[in-house]
């Protein structure tokens, strides 16, 4: 029996409804029907019907004064349900919290989905100068260090399709492929995010499949890489073990990274 691609089962109206919710989850607190219609390239009547349905179910609310729309309380309930029911999140949170406290920096859990890297939980540094936590945000995976690390772990056939455009980000991932897969680790020194050093380590689950990554964000001026990397490695190993992984950890490349002198280390990732 031939297994059909799930995109063949897509229901257009449901997809459009989710587009509305995702647009409302953006930076603007409220958006009107006309603006939503422009952004989603849908007729105003269609957008109004979608909003009316979502409003009746409690997923959006309308400001009676401006007549603009915003997310409703049901959207919050869904997010809270995910945090409550996800074994990955529930097991990751205490480990991330401890890691953040020990190193004094922001630590996040990153997952890969449909070309985007998501951050379901993040623990922010308590220092006055810090990198802000990633909460309810998503980035194109190729434009984020943790996203590039997770992208590199995809099966060869899928990865070839993902990197087919041959853009600079694709080239950067291909150039690092061997290292990213062998070490399960990535470090970026301010190239992807200015003035920020980002370090990420893969997390594995049952059957040793890669399920996520732990990311640490540090202001570039105080990045103590040699001190942070072993603690990041340990946190990722703890979470992997909690999720049922039997893998011992891909430490060789990280140990090499830590042992390199400052002059030997490359300054940036493309």
Tokens 């379901």, residue located: 120
Residues 6+ apart with CB under 8 A from 101: 126
Segment 169-189 mean pLDDT: 94
Lowest mean pLDDT segment, chosen from 156-165, 193-202, 245-254:
245-254
Residue 155, CB half-sphere, CA atoms under 13 Å: how many? Answer: 3
Segment 144-173 mean pLDDT: 92
Does pLDDT of 2 surpass 80?
Answer: no
Higher pLDDT, 37 or 82: 37
Tokens 């990045």, residue located: 223
CATH number of 86-259: 3.30.450.40
**φ and ψ at residue 168, rounded to 5 degrees:** -55, -35
State pLDDT tens for residues 65-89.
999 999 999 888 888 787 777 889 9
The CA-CA-CA angle for residues 201, 136, 109, to 5°, reads 15
Phi-psi region of 61 (alpha: psi -120 to 50; beta: other; left: phi over 0): beta
Confidence at residue 255, expressed as pLDDT on a 0 to 100 scale: 44
The Cα–Cα gap between 69 and 60 comes to 7
Question: Hey, what are 39's tokens?
Answer: 């952004």
Give the H or E element holding residue 164: none
The CA-CA-CA angle for residues 143, 148, 151, to 5°, reads 125
Percent of the chain residues topping a pLDDT of 70: 88
Question: Hey, what are 131's tokens?
Answer: 């990198």
The Cα–Cα gap between 181 and 187 comes to 13
Average pLDDT, the chain: 87
Segment 119-138 mean pLDDT: 89
pTM: 0.75
Confidence at residue 25, expressed as pLDDT on a 0 to 100 scale: 85
CA-CA-CA-CA torsion for 257, 103, 236, 241, nearest 10 degrees? 130
Residue 139, CB half-sphere, CA atoms under 13 Å: how many? Answer: 16
Ranges of each domain in the chain: 10-77, 86-259
CATH class of the domain comprising 10-77: mainly alpha
Segment 124-128 mean pLDDT: 94
Does pLDDT of 249 surpass 70?
Answer: no
């Amino acid at each position: 029996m031939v297994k059909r691609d799930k995109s063949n089962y897509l229901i257009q109206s449901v997809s459009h409804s989710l587009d509305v919710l995702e647009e409302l989850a953006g930076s603007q607190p409220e958006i009107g029907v006309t603006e939503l219609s422009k952004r989603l390239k849908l007729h105003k009547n269609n957008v109004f019907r979608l909003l009316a349905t979502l409003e009746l179910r409690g997923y959006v609310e309308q400001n009676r004064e401006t007549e603009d729309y915003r997310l409703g309380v049901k959207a919050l309930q869904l997010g809270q349900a995910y945090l409550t029911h996800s074994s990955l999140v529930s097991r990751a949170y205490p480990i991330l919290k401890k890691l953040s406290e020990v190193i004094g920096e922001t630590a996040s859990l990153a997952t890969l989905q449909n070309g985007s890297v998501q951050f379901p939980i993040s623990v922010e540094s308590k220092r006055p100068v810090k990198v802000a936590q990633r909460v309810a945000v998503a980035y194109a995976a190729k434009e984020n260090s943790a996203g590039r690390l997770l992208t590199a772990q995809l099966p060869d056939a899928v990865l070839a399709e993902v990197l087919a455009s041959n853009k600079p980000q694709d080239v950067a991932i291909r150039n690092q492929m061997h290292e990213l897969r062998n070490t399960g680790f990535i470090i970026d020194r301010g190239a992807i995010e200015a003035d920020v050093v980002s370090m990420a380590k893969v997390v594995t689950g049952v059957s040793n499949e890669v399920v996520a990554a732990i990311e640490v964000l540090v202001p570039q001026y105080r990045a103590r890489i040699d001190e942070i990397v072993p603690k990041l490695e340990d946190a990722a190993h703890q979470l992997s073990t909690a999720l049922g992984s039997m893998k011992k950890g891909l430490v060789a490349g990280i140990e090499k990274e830590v042992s390199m002198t400052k002059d030997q280390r490359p300054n940036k990732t493309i």
